[in-house]
Amino acid sequence: MEQQLEKIEDLVAHIELWSDDNICTHKREQQKLEEYVEMVTYFEELISACDPEEAKPWVNKLQPTTDAICDWIRDVKNIYVIIDKSDILKEHKQLLDEIIGE
């Protein structure tokens, strides 16, 4: 379990750094969306394998970053055209639909 929490801690730090570097512009949107979907999918996988009480602080810590990334995603123009060009994004379209619909 300790190793799992360390992976979560590392991933949270990685997502925060990624966000700082990537959501300031709308260049390379498809690549950024694919990277984000892969990171959030892995995060959800790690969290689901943990005790909810132990995982909760990491979910809470990541929330402001997640909110900023979701705002960025909502501002992507022609997002459905981008999704249609990517197998990864098509596979995770439901996740993106949930973000866009918030």
Average pLDDT over residues 48-57: 92
Q: Report how far Cα 35 is from the mean position of its chain's Cα atoms.
A: 8
28: left (phi over 0), alpha (psi -120 to 50) or beta: left
> 35: which 2 tokens?
């990277």
CA dist 53 and 74 (Å) reads 30
- The pLDDT, as a whole number, for residue 102 is 62
| Model confidence band, residue 1 (pLDDT cutoffs 50, 70, 90) | confident
| Model confidence band, residue 2 (pLDDT cutoffs 50, 70, 90) | confident
> Where are the chain's structural domains?
2-101
* HEC-encoded secondary structure of 23-56: CCCCCCHHHHHHHHHHHHHHHHHHHHCCCHHHHH
pLDDT in tens, 6-24: 999 999 999 999 999 999 9
